[in-house]
Structure 1
Amino acid sequence: MVKRIQFARTGGPEVLELVDGEPRDPAPGEVRVANKAIGLNFIDIYFRTGLYPTELPSGLGTEAAGVVDAVGQGVSDFEPGDRVAYAQGPLGAYSEYHVLPAEKVIQLPDTIGMEQAAAGMLKGLTVQYLLRQTYPLQGGETILFHAAAGGVGSIACQWARALGVRLIGTVSSSEKAEIASHNGAWAVIDYTKENVVERVRELTDGAMCPVVYDSVGRDTWETSLDCLSPRGTLVSFGNASGPVEGVNLAILNKKGSLFVTRPSLGGYADTRERFEMMCRDLFDVIERGDVEIHIGHRYRLAEAGEAQQALAERRTSGSTILLP
C-alpha cells in the first residue's frame, strides 16, 4: 500500500486527506518514482482552492526527488535505481510513489542531494526562466523582486548576485530582510515599514527598474507598475495574494509604455531539449556554489495541510519540503 495526499473537494487545508492505495504500474513511456523528498509550492495551493481547476478527486504536487522504481515499455533513458528529480507532470507528487512521463524526469547529479533537489527544482527552474529567458539579465541592472526571502526569492537573490545584478528585494519582516541580504540582495525593503515605490526611487536615483518580478499578484500590482522605468517590464508569475483582475491596458501607456507578461514553467520548459537546457543551467549554478538551496522547513507527508497553511500565511522562509 502507498500513502498519498488527495482532495475530493476544493477549499482550505482541511480538504487534504492522507489515503492508502496501490502503486500503479507505469504505462509505456512512463516511470514510477519512489519519492524521497517532495517540494511544496504555491501552485499546490492554487489547485487545492480551485483557482486552477482540476478533475476531482485528485492528487496534489508536481515536484519531488527520488529513485526510479519501475519503467514502462519503451523507456530507455532510465532504469530502476536511477536518482531523479522532476518539477512538472501530472498532479500526485504528494505521495510515497508517483508515476509520470519519462520526458518530465531528469537524472540527478550525485553532487545534489534528494532534499536539495526537491526543494529547488521547480523554484530553481522558475528563477532560470525569469532571469535568463523572460527578461534576460546581462549584469549591471537594478531590479525589483518581491518576496525575496521565500523559496523562489532566496534563489533569485543568489543567482542575480552571481550575474552581477543589483537586486532590490521586498520582505515583510526584519528577520526576512536579514535572510534576503544574506542571500545576496543588494538592498532590501520591508514593505510593512517603508513605502516601496519611494524607496525604489531613492535607491535608483529616480531611474526606477527596467524589470520587476512579482509573485504576489493583486496586492502588489500597482506598486510593481510604479516601480518600473519607462518601457519597463513587469513579470507577473504568481498570485500569492490573489489573482490580478480587471486590468485596464491603458494604464500601461499612462505609466510609460510598459510591458507585462505572465510566464510559467510549462511555457518555457515545453520541449525535452529546453527542459534539459534549463536543468543544466540550474545544476551548474548549484554545483559551482553560486546558488545554495535553503530548506527552511520540513514536514511529514501527513502534515501537508499544516505546511500549506504556513506557506499561505507567509510564515515560511526559504523552501519547504514534505518527507514521505
Structure 2
Amino acid sequence: MDKIVTLLAPGGIDNLEVSGRVPQEPGASEIRIRHDAIGMNFLDIYHRRGLYALPAYPAVLGVEGAGIIEAIGSAVTDLKPGDRVVYAGAPVGAYAATRLLPAARAVRLPDGVSSKVAAASMLKGLTAYMLLTKTYCVEPGTTVLIHAAGGGLGSILVRWAKHLGATVIGTVSSEEKADLARRHGADHLIVGRNADVVAAVKARTGNSGVDVAYDGIGSGMLAKSIQSVRPFGVVATIGQAGGPIPPVSVDDLRPGKWLTHPSIMAYIADAPAYLTAAEAVVKMLACGITATIASEYPLEEAAEAQRYLEEGRAAGSLILVP
C-alpha cells in the first residue's frame, strides 16, 4: 500500500488525513509516477482553505512532483518505465507516493538535476518564466521589486531576474532571509515586516520607482507596490499570503500604472505554452538556477509542513518525501 494524504473538506490542517492506497493502473494516455519528491506551494494552502475550490471532496492536494515512471498507458509512445520526469499544474493530486498523470504533463529530467530540486522548483520556475517574460519582459537595465525575496518563489525570481541582467530590489521579513536573497544576487534588500517599502524603493531608484513589482503578499502590500512602481510601470499581484487584498481604486493607478493578476495555473493549462515554459525551466535548472530547499518533510507529515509554510517561516522551498 502506498501512502496518500487526503483533504476531507476545505478548512484547517486537521482536515488532512493520511491513509493507504493500492497503486492505480494508468489509462490509455496516462502514466503512473512514483514520486521521489513532491513540491509544496502556497497554492496548496489556498486549495486546503477553499479559497480556490477543488472539483470535489475528498481531494488530494499538490500540483508538482518528480520521480520515476512505473507504468504507462497503451497510447503513450514517447515515455517509458524508468524515465525520470517532473511535472506541474492540473490535475491536482501530488500528495501521494504514486499517482496517475496525463502523459502530456510529464517532462524528462536531465541527469544533472535531482528529483528533489526539480520538485521544489518546477511550478515556481514556470511562474518565474511567466512573470519575467510574459507579464513584463525583463532585460538588462530593468529594475524589479520582488517581495518575499527569500521565499520559495522569491528565491528563484531573484536568480532568474539577475540572469536576465536586471537590478533586483527585494523585501524580506528577517536577516536570515536577507542573507539568502543576497547569496542569490539581490542588489538591494528591505528588511522587516514594518519597513517603509515605498520610501526605501524611491531612495534606491532616484525617486523614480521600479519598472515592475511582483507581489505575492497581498494585504496592504499591494498598495505599497503600486506606489513603488514608476509611471507606466507594471504591478503583478500573484497571491495573498499575508491576507486578503483591500479594494484598489483606479485613481491609485495614476499616472498610467498597469495592474495585472496573472494566473500560473491558467497559463500552463495551455499545452503548447506549458511545454515551451517547461523546457525553459529545465534549462535553467540545469544551469543551477533553482529554488532553495529549506526543509524536507515525510509525506505523512504534510499537515505540519503546511503549518510551517502557512506561517511564512520557510527561507526557501519545502518538499514532501514519500
Once residues 195 and 77 of structure 2 are traced to their aligned partners in structure 1, the CA distance between those partners, rounded to angstroms, is: 55
- Asked if 1:188 corresponds to 2:183, the answer is no
**SS in structure 1 of the partner of residue 273 of structure 2:** helix
| 1:59-89: CA deviation from partner (whole Å, max 9, x where unpaired) | 1101100111111121111111110011112
Task: Quote the residue 1:133 is aligned against.
Answer: 134
Task: Quote the residue 1:45 is aligned against.
Answer: 45
Trace 1:169-318 onto structure 2 (pairs within 5 A). Answer: 169-192=170-193, 194-252=195-253, 255-289=254-288, 291-318=289-316
- Asked if 1:29 corresponds to 2:49, the answer is no
Q: Which amino acid aligns with 1:190?
A: V
Taking a change above 3 Å as real, the CA distance of residues 308 and 219 of structure 1, as seen in their structure-2 partners, is farther
Once residues 273 and 192 of structure 1 are traced to their aligned partners in structure 2, the CA distance between those partners, rounded to angstroms, is: 39
Instruction: Among all aligned residue pairs of Structure 1 and Structure 2, give the percentage whose two residues are the same amino acid.
Output: 40
Higher mean C-alpha displacement, 303-312 vs 235-244: 235-244
| 1:290-324: CA deviation from partner (whole Å, max 9, x where unpaired) | x1431110001111111111111111011110000
Once residues 238 and 286 of structure 1 are traced to their aligned partners in structure 2, the CA distance between those partners, rounded to angstroms, is: 24
Once residues 18 and 115 of structure 2 are traced to their aligned partners in structure 1, the CA distance between those partners, rounded to angstroms, is: 23
Task: Quote the residue 1:85 is aligned against.
Answer: 86
Structure 1 segments of 4+ aligned residues over 4 angstroms from their partners? none
| 1:23-75: CA deviation from partner (whole Å, max 9, x where unpaired) | 22111211111111000100000010010111111011011001111111211
Q: Indicate if the aligned counterparts of 1:299 and 1:323 stay in contact, CA closer than 8 A.
A: yes
| CA root-mean-square deviation | 1.4
Residue 245 of structure 1: how far off its partner (Å): 4.6
Higher mean C-alpha displacement, 148-157 vs 259-268: 259-268
Residue 90 of structure 1: how far off its partner (Å): 1.6
Q: Indicate if the aligned counterparts of 2:125 and 2:290 stay in contact, CA closer than 8 A.
A: no
Residue 193 of structure 1: how far off its partner (Å): 5.2
Higher mean C-alpha displacement, 211-220 vs 242-251: 242-251
Once residues 245 and 28 of structure 2 are traced to their aligned partners in structure 1, the CA distance between those partners, rounded to angstroms, is: 40
Task: Quote the residue 1:153 is aligned against.
Answer: 154
Q: Indicate if the aligned counterparts of 2:26 and 2:100 stay in contact, CA closer than 8 A.
A: yes
How many residues in Structure 1 have an aligned counterpart in Structure 2?
321
**SS in structure 1 of the partner of residue 71 of structure 2:** strand
Q: Indicate if the aligned counterparts of 1:201 and 1:208 stay in contact, CA closer than 8 A.
A: yes
Taking a change above 3 Å as real, the CA distance of residues 129 and 97 of structure 1, as seen in their structure-2 partners, is same
Q: Which amino acid aligns with 2:284?
A: V
Q: Which amino acid aligns with 1:108?
A: L
Once residues 267 and 151 of structure 2 are traced to their aligned partners in structure 1, the CA distance between those partners, rounded to angstroms, is: 22
Q: Which amino acid aligns with 1:128?
A: Y
Identify unmatched segments of 5+ residues in structure 1: none
Q: Indicate if the aligned counterparts of 1:89 and 1:101 stay in contact, CA closer than 8 A.
A: no
Task: Quote the residue 1:2 is aligned against.
Answer: 2
Residue 266 of structure 1: how far off its partner (Å): 2.8
| 1:257-287: CA deviation from partner (whole Å, max 9, x where unpaired) | 2111111223332433322221221222222
Task: Quote the residue 2:112 is aligned against.
Answer: 111
Residue 151 of structure 1: how far off its partner (Å): 0.7
What TM-score comes out, normalization by structure 1 length?
A: 0.95
Q: Which amino acid aligns with 1:318?
A: G
Q: Which amino acid aligns with 1:221?
A: L
Once residues 193 and 182 of structure 1 are traced to their aligned partners in structure 2, the CA distance between those partners, rounded to angstroms, is: 23
Q: Which amino acid aligns with 1:275?
A: Y
Q: Which amino acid aligns with 1:142?
A: T
Q: Indicate if the aligned counterparts of 2:118 and 2:285 stay in contact, CA closer than 8 A.
A: no
Higher mean C-alpha displacement, 262-271 vs 139-148: 262-271
Residue 233 of structure 1: how far off its partner (Å): 0.9
| 1:222-255: CA deviation from partner (whole Å, max 9, x where unpaired) | 1111101111111111121233253333332xx3
| 1:155-194: CA deviation from partner (whole Å, max 9, x where unpaired) | 1111111111011000001111111111111100013353
Q: Which amino acid aligns with 1:2?
A: D
Q: Indicate if the aligned counterparts of 2:90 and 2:269 stay in contact, CA closer than 8 A.
A: no
Q: Indicate if the aligned counterparts of 1:89 and 1:100 stay in contact, CA closer than 8 A.
A: no
Once residues 308 and 216 of structure 1 are traced to their aligned partners in structure 2, the CA distance between those partners, rounded to angstroms, is: 17
Higher mean C-alpha displacement, 20-29 vs 312-321: 20-29
